[in-house]
């Protein structure tokens, strides 16, 4: 059985989205390494914020479970709660957002 064009297009779209999430997570990993951030809580916040920022840019609406899946977690939570960025943060470039998150975490 050959998949339909719509099915192939759908899966290509998913692959492109996951690639974009992981590309931006990679940028955040570089940010973390460059600044020698070692605090797990700060690292977690930075990575999650990058996922939420990427979702906003792509028009995705993510549940808490969706975020875990993107991050490769095997844990599941049965929460229908959606996660999103503050409207002010949505317009920032990714690295400026990382600076703001990191500065807030230093307080």
pLDDT digits (tens, 9 = 90+) for 22-40: 999 999 999 999 999 999 9
**pTM confidence score:** 0.88
Measured between alpha carbons, how far is residue 29 from residues 3, 8, 60 in Å? Answer: 37, 31, 22
pLDDT in single tens digits along all 107 residues of the chain: 888 999 999 999 999 999 999 999 999 999 999 999 999 999 999 999 999 999 999 999 999 999 998 998 888 787 788 999 988 888 999 999 999 998 887 76
Residue 69 near residue 49 (C-beta atoms within 8 A):
no
Across 36-47, b (16+ Cβ under 10 Å) vs e yields: ebeeeebeebbb
CA distance 43 to 32: 7
């Amino acid at each position: 059985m050959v998949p339909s064009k719509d099915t192939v297009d759908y899966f290509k779209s998913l692959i492109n989205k996951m690639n974009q999430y992981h590309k931006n997570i990679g940028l955040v990993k570089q940010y973390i390494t460059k600044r020698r951030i070692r605090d797990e809580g700060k690292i977690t916040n930075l990575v999650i914020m990058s996922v939420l920022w990427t979702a906003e840019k792509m028009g995705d609406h993510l549940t808490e479970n969706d975020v875990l899946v993107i991050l490769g977690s095997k844990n599941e939570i049965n929460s229908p709660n959606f996660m999103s960025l503050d409207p002010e943060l949505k317009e920032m470039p990714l690295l400026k957002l990382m600076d703001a998150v990191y500065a807030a975490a230093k307080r």
